[in-house]
């Protein structure tokens, strides 16, 4: 036996070999096949010399999994988890363990993609539908969205909706009640500035004194007071104002719904329904409005339709409102939202049911009553006259109270030197109340919780006045009344999971989405209390672990992107675009060039680009692409010159959305800079850049990074995500700030783009671990292998399908586009047929018709092994042969395995199947690989048009089941 050195033996610990699919031998075989000697040789063939960085990243060596976990454990320990009574939209909560283990920590849920292929996504579609039902029941309005990014961005969306639908067409004022959470106001103001709206902030009752198109109120307000707004809303309606209410989801269980008071839009955070605070997120925002405003709704909506058998089936409704179709005319730029967290919240409601929720909400309210009574009996009377869970106090003793609170590891809400607040929550206990008495009153108060409880029971007046108590039933649908035992709940979650194809079944080759491994060692830390249970507005000195983690991660991202600084606030790629464009606008302003407002966007751009430019108040000018898929330089030069006076920036994607490294990218940057513009480089395709090139090196000024693509945060079925932006130093002074938390020297002039200072900080440990476990060499190897895998698949498939675009040496970058239009022409088989037929073979379809209609875009990523790639290739080749049979007239165009795909069990047991021109085995078990591991789509092909014509976006009435 040949002996190995210790260094060689230690290699086995490297995470790299777990993250990257093909082993060294397979890689060599694949290199031989594509015609390259080594990975470096392949890079030389593909990546233009002028943009190649020929040095190693300075990230450091890779950690083993155990070593990396030890390290981050130490980082986590530097966070001090105080008991939080801060409130302000973030509350301690208890994640039901059955949801924690079976949803949040289950790859069947967290690795799925946005349900663009609904036939293999009925499980999460049902869970999101439940979320919509919860949202509707609690708010008292008709039509809910499938989640937005956070409460503050939802407020900005409510304002935009109000402008779209208000009949007060001449009005330009959006009124905001002055008792709104400050972080929400900040995000609203930022957005209003872009749109040119006038925001007026004042006491709620003042709203009627303005000529306004919309108004926004908080219920319960930032100090915990609850108001009956029925009359005020009626008056505002007279003025044709659209009324929005930011509401607390837990309070709505007991309170009269804002819908029944006359509100037109109700939104808020669903965090306290079993989603940890996570130092700011991720959490789902709910957003509900009137059916009449459905065309103006931001974000995704799940609705009912039917499949070819006439069975009920769910899918995303009215997608024609969305950015990927309407581009700069879209209602909003939302792409990635918060689906995993919306599902957690909906499962929380399903598990507790209406009774359980009422018990939880009533207990919170009771403890608040007890606290208020005890304190007032000692002369510390709450400022509130009515409340649900939050009280505000004035005290000259606040300095002492603060000291005692700190000593007891408690955080209160501190408003000023003499004003403070307390918000209670689901986790509050009798001992906590006693401790709060100790802290607020000092030790010798002699108060007894049980005795106070008796007084509250006997009190004549309630903290929630009768007129504000909810008197209608909530969550009456059977789904919320069946699964209160853990066994039933576990099985319900499993039943839904079984309907969905996620990465734990097979590769998901969605181009532009980078569906790579989300390793367990990367995921583990997000459940640790030291990361999960931190309030985003806790004092910075308690969050030293987060500060270190965010600092190190930012430094690494600076190194990887070639920029000078990183802003962590945007909580999706699209929000990063918006934040980056705002920085560009502020930069121009600072130079006296505020008039620069034209954004050039190539026609191949992702839909979020034009939608974000529109949000940032820019004018979009589309530039052409040539036949090779590259930006048409002549057209670009001409347009840049034409608009030079007003040129703000260009938004490009690199490698291009066509999956090639454009040779002319430096020239493109130069053209824009020459005309005084800035270069926004969409960083969604960083997986083809890390360690090879970088946006900063190429010459761009700002980019967002999709941490949920390249940096291993799972897609969660449509979110969470993180979209931090990297910037060159001249833009650094203009990135988003935060009114409440100022870790650095941020300017106060810069508005916020998210509610929390570091966006969805709770998932940053995933990207942190990804980078730490791979190190400099592993990151580069990942990029190289992603490119190898893509070129391997491309070459194999190019013998059967035309590849639309290739770069130098006929190669692609990390993804490739198959052109199906000639095939469709010849056979009548559509890209949709192929996508659905792949389901029968156990695969998710690649990206369909983006960036070119009639195509499929395949991105295998580095994590897929050669075995899996070959399985996918086999399926695609088989499908090509099936198309040939249609082409040859062996099967009718409208009755063949492709046009009838996907096939369900119901098809297979249907006696009428015998009439089909192909057999059951071919339908359901077309290859031996499928026989060994069959995935059954649970519905047949879904009729989108039927669903949009008969819009229904709530849980199905129980009669329909029978
Ligand atoms: C995914 C993607 C985006 C948008 O990112 P979200 O996080 O979904 O908002 C933008 N541009 C490109 C090219 C993308 O692939």
DSSP 662-708: -TTHHHHHHHHHHTT-EEEEEGGGGGGTTTT--HHHHT-SEEE--TT
Closest by CA to 87, choosing from 428, 333, 377, 550, is 428
Tell me which of 765, 791, 812 is where a domain ends. Answer: 765
Q: Kindly state whether residues 287 and 318 are assigned to the same domain.
A: yes
533 lines ligand 1 (CB under 6 A): no
Distance 712 CA to ligand 1 centre (A): 14
Tell me which of 443, 468, 493 is where a domain ends. Answer: 468
Dump strand ranges (E) for 236-309. 242-247, 265-269, 285-289, 302-307
Nearby residues of 729 by Cβ (< 8 Å), 6 or more positions away: 564, 565
Mutate to test the pocket of ligand 1, among 575, 607, 608, 716 (most ligand atoms within 8 A of CB): 608
- Cis? peptide before 655, omega within 30° of 0: yes
Distance 695 CA to ligand 1 centre (A): 16
Residue 747 is predicted with a pLDDT of: 66
Ligand 1, atom 2: nearest CA belongs to which residue?
684
Distance 684 CA to ligand 1 centre (A): 6
- Give the span between the Cα atoms of 822 and 855, in whole angstroms: 10
CB 813 within 8 A of CB 659: yes
570 lines ligand 1 (CB under 6 A): no
The dihedral region occupied by 764, where left means phi > 0, alpha psi between -120 and 50, and beta the remainder, is alpha
Q: In what order do the strands lie in the sheet with 855-858?
A: 816-819, 855-858, 847-848
Q: Kindly state whether residues 199 and 306 are assigned to the same domain.
A: yes
> 469: which DSSP letter?
B
**Residue 112: domain span:** 99-349
Strands 83-84 and 173-177: unpaired
Q: Kindly state whether residues 326 and 413 are assigned to the same domain.
A: no
Ligand 1, atom 6: nearest CA belongs to which residue?
573
Longest Cα–Cα distance in the chain: 92
- Is residue 339 situated within a structural domain? yes
Ligand 1, atom 15: nearest CA belongs to which residue?
512
- Is residue 959 situated within a structural domain? no
Cβ atoms < 10 Å from Cβ of 547: 17
Distance 798 CA to ligand 1 centre (A): 27
Distance 566 CA to ligand 1 centre (A): 18
Q: Kindly state whether residues 440 and 582 are assigned to the same domain.
A: no
706 lines ligand 1 (CB under 6 A): yes
Q: Kindly state whether residues 723 and 741 are assigned to the same domain.
A: yes
- Tokens of residue 314, six digits: 């769910």
Distance 847 CA to ligand 1 centre (A): 13
Q: Kindly state whether residues 388 and 312 are assigned to the same domain.
A: no
- Tokens of residue 859, six digits: 């991105």
- Give the span between the Cα atoms of 493 and 524, in whole angstroms: 21
Distance 120 CA to ligand 1 centre (A): 22
- Tokens of residue 316, six digits: 């995303």
- Give the span between the Cα atoms of 707 and 710, in whole angstroms: 6
SS3 call for 144:
strand
Q: Kindly state whether residues 116 and 181 are assigned to the same domain.
A: yes
Residue 443 is predicted with a pLDDT of: 80
pLDDT, tens digit, for every residue of 83-105?
A: 999 999 999 999 999 999 999 99
Residue 603 is predicted with a pLDDT of: 92
608 lines ligand 1 (CB under 6 A): yes
572 lines ligand 1 (CB under 6 A): yes
Count: domains in the chain:
3
703 lines ligand 1 (CB under 6 A): no
815 lines ligand 1 (CB under 6 A): no
- Tokens of residue 89, six digits: 């939209």
Q: Kindly state whether residues 253 and 400 are assigned to the same domain.
A: no
- Is residue 790 situated within a structural domain? no
Residue 961 is predicted with a pLDDT of: 58
- Tokens of residue 904, six digits: 């369900």
* Atom in ligand 1 nearest the alpha carbon of residue 657: 13
- Give the span between the Cα atoms of 194 and 566, in whole angstroms: 22
Tell me which of 349, 366, 401 is where a domain ends. Answer: 349
Residue 954 is predicted with a pLDDT of: 94
Distance 113 CA to ligand 1 centre (A): 13
CB 512 within 8 A of CB 687: no
- Is residue 551 situated within a structural domain? no
- Is residue 256 situated within a structural domain? yes
335 lines ligand 1 (CB under 6 A): yes
Ligand 1, atom 8: nearest CA belongs to which residue?
336
Please report how the helices 339-377 and 430-441 are oriented relative to each other, as an axis angle in degrees rounded to 10. 50
- Give the span between the Cα atoms of 532 and 522, in whole angstroms: 14
Which pTM was predicted? 0.98
Mutate to test the pocket of ligand 1, among 316, 651, 682 (most ligand atoms within 8 A of CB): 682
Mutate to test the pocket of ligand 1, among 569, 574, 704 (most ligand atoms within 8 A of CB): 574
Residue 678 sits in a domain whose CATH number is: 3.40.640.10
580 lines ligand 1 (CB under 6 A): no
Residues of the chain with pLDDT under 50: none
Q: Kindly state whether residues 642 and 736 are assigned to the same domain.
A: yes
- Is residue 506 situated within a structural domain? no
Q: Kindly state whether residues 325 and 372 are assigned to the same domain.
A: no
**Residues forming a β-bridge with 225:** 387
Alpha helices in 533-680 (DSSP H): 544-561, 573-590, 608-615, 633-642, 665-674
- Is residue 16 situated within a structural domain? no
684 lines ligand 1 (CB under 6 A): yes
602 lines ligand 1 (CB under 6 A): no
CB 348 within 8 A of CB 99: yes
SS3 call for 123:
helix
Ligand 1, atom 14: nearest CA belongs to which residue?
684
Q: Kindly state whether residues 341 and 401 are assigned to the same domain.
A: no
* Atom in ligand 1 nearest the alpha carbon of residue 575: 9
Residue 372 sits in a domain whose CATH number is: 3.90.1150.10
Q: Kindly state whether residues 194 and 271 are assigned to the same domain.
A: yes
Distance 364 CA to ligand 1 centre (A): 40
Residue 508 is predicted with a pLDDT of: 98
CB 779 within 8 A of CB 690: yes
- Give the span between the Cα atoms of 130 and 126, in whole angstroms: 6
- Tokens of residue 792, six digits: 């391997």
Ligand 1, atom 3: nearest CA belongs to which residue?
573
- Is residue 82 situated within a structural domain? no
């Amino acid at each position: 036996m040949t002996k190995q050195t210790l260094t060689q033996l230690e290699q086995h610990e490297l995470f790299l070999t777990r993250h990257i699919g093909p082993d060294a031998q397979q890689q060599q075989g694949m290199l031989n096949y594509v015609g390259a000697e080594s990975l470096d040789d392949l890079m030389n063939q593909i990546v233009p010399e002028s943009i190649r960085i020929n040095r190693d990243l300075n990230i450091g060596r890779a950690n083993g999994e155990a070593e990396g976990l030890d390290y981050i454990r130490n980082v986590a320990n530097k966070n001090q988890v105080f008991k939080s009574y801060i409130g302000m939209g973030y509350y301690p909560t208890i994640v039901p363990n059955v949801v924690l283990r079976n949803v949040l920590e289950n790859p069947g849920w967290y690795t799925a993609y946005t349900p663009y292929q609904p036939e293999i996504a009925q499980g999460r579609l049902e869970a999101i539908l439940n979320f919509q039902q919860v949202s509707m029941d609690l708010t008292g309005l008709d039509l809910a969205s499938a989640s937005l990014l956070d409460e503050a961005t939802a407020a900005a969306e409510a304002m935009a909706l109000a402008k779209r639908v208000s009949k007060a067409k001449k009005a330009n004022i959006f009124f905001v009640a002055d008792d709104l959470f400050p972080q929400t106001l900040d995000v609203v103001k930022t957005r209003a500035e872009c749109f040119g709206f006038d925001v007026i902030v004042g006491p709620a009752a003042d709203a009627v004194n303005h000529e306004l198109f919309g108004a926004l109120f908080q219920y319960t307000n930032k100090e915990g007071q609850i108001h009956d707004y029925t009359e005020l809303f009626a008056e505002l309606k007279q003025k044709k104002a659209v009324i929005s209410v930011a509401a607390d989801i837990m309070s709505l269980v007991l309170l009269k719904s804002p819908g029944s008071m006359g509100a037109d839009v109700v939104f808020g955070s669903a965090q306290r329904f079993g989603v940890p605070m996570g130092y700011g997120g991720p959490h789902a925002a709910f957003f509900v409005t009137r059916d009449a405003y459905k065309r103006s709704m931001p974000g995704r909506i799940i609705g009912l339709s039917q499949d070819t058998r006439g069975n009920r089936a769910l899918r995303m409704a009215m997608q024609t409102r969305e950015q990927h179709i309407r581009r700069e005319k879209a209602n909003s730029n939302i792409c990635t939202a918060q689906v995993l967290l919306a599902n957690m919240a909906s499962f929380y409601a399903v598990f507790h049911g209406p009774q359980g929720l009422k018990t939880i909400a009533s207990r919170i309210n009771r403890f608040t009553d007890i606290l208020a009574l005890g304190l007032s009996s000692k002369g510390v009377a709450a400022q509130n006259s009515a409340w649900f869970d939050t009280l505000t106090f004035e005290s000259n003793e606040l300095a002492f109270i603060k000291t005692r609170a700190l000593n007891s590891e408690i955080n209160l809400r501190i408003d000023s030197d003499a004003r403070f607040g307390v918000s209670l929550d689901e986790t509050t206990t009798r001992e906590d109340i006693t401790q709060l008495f100790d802290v607020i009153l000092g030790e010798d108060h002699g108060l007894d919780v049980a005795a106070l409880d008796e007084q509250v029971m006997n009190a004549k007046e309630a903290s929630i006045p009768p007129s504000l108590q909810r008197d209608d039933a909530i969550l009456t649908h059977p789904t919320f009344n069946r699964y209160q035992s853990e066994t039933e709940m576990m099985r319900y979650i499993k039943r839904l999971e079984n309907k969905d194809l996620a990465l734990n079944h097979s590769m998901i080759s969605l181009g532009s989405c980078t569906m790579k491994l989300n390793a367990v060692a990367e995921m583990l830390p997000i459940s640790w209390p030291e990361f999960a249970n931190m309030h985003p507005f806790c004092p910075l000195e308690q969050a030293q672990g987060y500060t270190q983690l965010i600092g190190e991660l930012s430094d690494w991202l600076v190194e990887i992107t070639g920029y000078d600084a990183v802003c962590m606030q945007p909580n999706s790629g699209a929000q990063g675009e918006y934040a980056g464009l705002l920085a560009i606008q502020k930069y121009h302003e600072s130079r006296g060039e505020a008039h620069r407002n034209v954004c050039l966007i190539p026609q191949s751009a992702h839909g979020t680009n034009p939608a974000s430019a529109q949000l940032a108040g820019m004018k979009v000018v589309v530039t052409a692409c040539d036949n090779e898929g590259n930006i048409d330089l002549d057209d670009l030069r001409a347009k840049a010159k034409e608009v030079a006076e007003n040129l703000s920036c260009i938004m490009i994607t690199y490698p291009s959305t066509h999956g090639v490294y454009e040779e002319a990218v430096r020239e493109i940057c130069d053209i824009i800079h020459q005309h005084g513009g800035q270069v926004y480089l969409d960083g969604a395709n960083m997986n083809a850049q890390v360690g090879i090139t970088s946006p900063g090196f190429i010459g761009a000024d700002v980019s967002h990074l999709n941490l949920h693509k390249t940096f291993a945060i799972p897609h969660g079925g449509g979110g969470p995500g993180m979209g931090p932006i990297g910037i060159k130093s001249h833009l650094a002074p203009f990135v988003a700030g935060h009114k409440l938390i100022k870790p650095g020297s941020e300017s106060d002039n810069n508005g916020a783009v998210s509610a929390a200072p570091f966006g969805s900080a709770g998932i940053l440990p995933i990207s942190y671990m990804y980078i730490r476990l791979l190190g400099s060499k592993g990151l580069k190897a990942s990029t190289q292998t992603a490119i190898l895998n893509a070129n391997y698949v491309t070459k194999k498939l190019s013998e059967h399908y035309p590849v639309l675009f290739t770069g130098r040496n006929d190669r692609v970058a990390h993804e490739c586009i198959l052109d199906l239009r000639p095939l469709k022409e010849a056979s009548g088989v559509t890209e949709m047929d192929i996508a659905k037929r792949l389901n029968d073979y156990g695969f998710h379809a690649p990206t369909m018709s983006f960036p070119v209609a009639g195509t499929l875009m395949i991105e295998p990523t580095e994590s897929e092994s050669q075995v899996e790639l070959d399985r996918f290739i086999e399926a695609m080749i088989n499908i090509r042969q099936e198309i040939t049979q249609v082409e040859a007239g062996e099967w009718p165009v409208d009755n063949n395995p492709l046009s009838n795909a996907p096939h369900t069990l119901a098809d297979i047991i249907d006696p009428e199947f015998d009439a089909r021109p192909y057999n059951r085995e071919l339908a359901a078990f077309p290859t031996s690989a499928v026989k060994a591991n069959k995935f059954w789509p649970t519905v047949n092909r879904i009729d989108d048009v039927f669903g949009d014509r008969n819009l229904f976006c709530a849980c199905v009435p129980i009669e329909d089941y029978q």
